[in-house]
């Protein structure tokens, strides 16, 4: 047996051992392999395989999140036990939402000599009980800005395969809208409209920009007033034509 084959066999054995420690993940991988190696029964259409594969990937993502959180909870608890061997413990369920649906994990609530209630997992992995991941917040905000909150919740179910309430979409969307408004107000308070004391030494301008037609002031002549949305090639009746040119300071 060559060294390369020996190394490959060792990697395969290590992968098998790790999958045995995570039976739910192994089940998900087996389901995906069954889809790719389907040799019995009638041949499925590409749309059928697509839908089934998406569902298995969603389950795989949720299972991976739960297994990862369980491992993090175990590590955090072991670290606390090493610092304070007398710490007491009781169990509690932690739930939060991500793009793979609701993640449910059993965590330990600790009690030490100085603190009666120590909850390590939420702070350790950066989640809030019944909270939503940043990725999911972006999804909810995008859908919530485009449609009603009820319609946005339906779109989440259509595209991501799990149900979430319209109130959750509303809360997340309004929170990010408020944050964006505060950010704009802070930017508006900045003195960016004040010109610097010394200008740039060189400015490079590209003249091949976008033309903007402007309507001349005064009373309307004729039945229809020329609008700014007409072709910029020939704009009769317009006072002048402007051209937007990008420029960069060098």
Token pair, residue 197, equals: 């004391």
C-alpha 87/C-alpha 116 separation (Å) is 10
Q: Are 226 and 235 in contact (CB under 8 A)?
A: yes
Complete DSSP assignment for 24-60? HHHHHHHHHHHHHT--SSSPPPHHHHHHHHHHHHHHH
Burial 190-215, CB ≥16 within 10 A → b, else e: eeeeeeeeeeeeeeeeeeeeeeebee
Q: How far apart are the first and last CA of the chain?
A: 63
| DSSP E strands, 31-154 | 88-98, 101-111, 118-119
C-alpha 56/C-alpha 52 separation (Å) is 6
Q: What pLDDT was estimated at residue 205?
A: 76
Give the residue carrying structure tokens 């790790």: 18
Query: 3-state class of 71 per DSSP?
Result: helix
Q: What pLDDT was estimated at residue 125?
A: 93
State how beta strands 203-205 and 210-214 pair.
Answer: unpaired
Query: 3-state class of 247 per DSSP?
Result: strand
Q: What pLDDT was estimated at residue 199?
A: 77
Q: What pLDDT was estimated at residue 214?
A: 60
DSSP summary character for residue 211: E
Largest CA distance in the chain: 93
Q: pTM for this one?
A: 0.67
Closest CA to 57 of 31, 18, 24: 31
Q: What pLDDT was estimated at residue 230?
A: 41
Burial class of residue 243 in the structure, from the number of CB atoms within 10 Å of its CB (0-12 exposed, 13-18 middle, 19+ buried): exposed
Q: In 10 A of CB 42, how many CB atoms?
A: 6
Mean pLDDT by 10 residues, the chain (250 residues): 72 88 90 84 87 93 94 92 88 94 93 89 93 95 93 95 95 95 85 70 71 62 54 44 65
């Amino acid at each position: 047996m060559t060294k390369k084959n020996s190394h490959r066999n060792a990697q395969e054995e290590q992968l098998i051992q790790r999958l045995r420690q995570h039976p739910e993940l192994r089940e998900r991988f087996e389901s995906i392999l069954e889809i790719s190696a389907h040799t019995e029964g009638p041949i499925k259409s590409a749309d059928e395989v697509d839908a089934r594969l998406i569902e298995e990937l969603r389950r795989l993502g949720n299972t991976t999140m739960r297994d990862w959180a369980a491992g993090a909870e175990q590590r955090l608890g072991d670290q606390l036990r090493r610092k304070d061997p007398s710490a007491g413990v009781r169990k509690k369920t932690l739930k939060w939402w991500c793009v793979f649906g609701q993640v449910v994990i059993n965590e330990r609530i600790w009690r030490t000599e100085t603190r009666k209630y120590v909850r390590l997992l939420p702070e350790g992995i950066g989640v809030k009980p019944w909270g939503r991941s940043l990725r999911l917040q972006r999804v909810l905000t995008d859908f919530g800005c485009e449609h009603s909150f009820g319609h946005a919740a339906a779109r989440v179910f259509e595209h991501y395969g799990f149900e979430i309430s319209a109130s959750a979409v509303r809360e997340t969307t309004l929170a990010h809208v408020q944050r964006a408004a505060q950010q704009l107000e802070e930017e508006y308070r900045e003195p960016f409209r004040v010109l610097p004391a010394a200008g740039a030494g060189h400015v490079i301008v590209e003249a091949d920009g976008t033309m903007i037609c402007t309507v001349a002031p005064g009373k309307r002549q004729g039945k229809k007033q020329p609008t700014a949305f007409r072709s910029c090639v020939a704009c009769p009746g317009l006072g002048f034509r402007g051209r937007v040119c990008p420029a960069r300071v060098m």
